[in-house]
Amino acid sequence: MSNKGLPPEYFTEDHESDGMFPERRRHAKKSSASKIFAWLLTAVFWAALVYGGHWYMDARLRQHQASLQEYVDSALRDVQETNALNVQSLEGKLQSLAAEMRDITDALEQADETISTSNTARAALNVKIEELNQQLEDLRQSLDNLKELNNGKK
């Protein structure tokens, strides 16, 4: 083998037997170590990317959940406020209807009393009319008697 400009101490019998120069052997060891380092660095980088992606997606998911929760809470508050206003309106209408019902009940009671009173008055009037009819009948008879007496005197 030729020495290619290397000092003679690099060449010994056992190195020449495998056909590799000592620097090449060191370079071969370095290249396998650098390959392992490169693979290790790639694996660490890949793991960091996966972890970073997971962390980023988790943060985005939390952000979306927080905004969704805020939206739901806001909508719930709006619905509760609207319901409170509707309940107040319905309570007002209910009170108004209750007052109208009381007025109608009072009017019916008064009408019932009036009807009862008018029935009593009607009965009293009927009695009085009967009495007057009786008196009228008595007067007719008396008039008839007087006419007969008057006719008899003539």
Per-residue pLDDT of the chain (154 residues; tens, 9 = 90+): 455 565 655 555 444 445 555 555 555 566 788 889 999 999 999 999 999 999 999 999 999 999 999 999 999 999 999 998 989 998 999 899 899 999 998 988 888 888 777 788 888 888 888 888 898 888 888 888 877 777 766 6
Range of the domain at 29: 1-46
Count how many domains the chain has.
Answer: 1
State the pLDDT at residue 39: 93
Going from the C-alpha of 28 to that of each of 5, 20, 33, 41, 72, the distances in angstroms are 20, 10, 9, 19, 65
In a domain, 5, yes or no: yes
In a domain, 31, yes or no: yes
In a domain, 17, yes or no: yes
In a domain, 140, yes or no: no
In a domain, 10, yes or no: yes
In a domain, 106, yes or no: no
- Cα distance between residue 154 and residue 36, in whole Å: 169
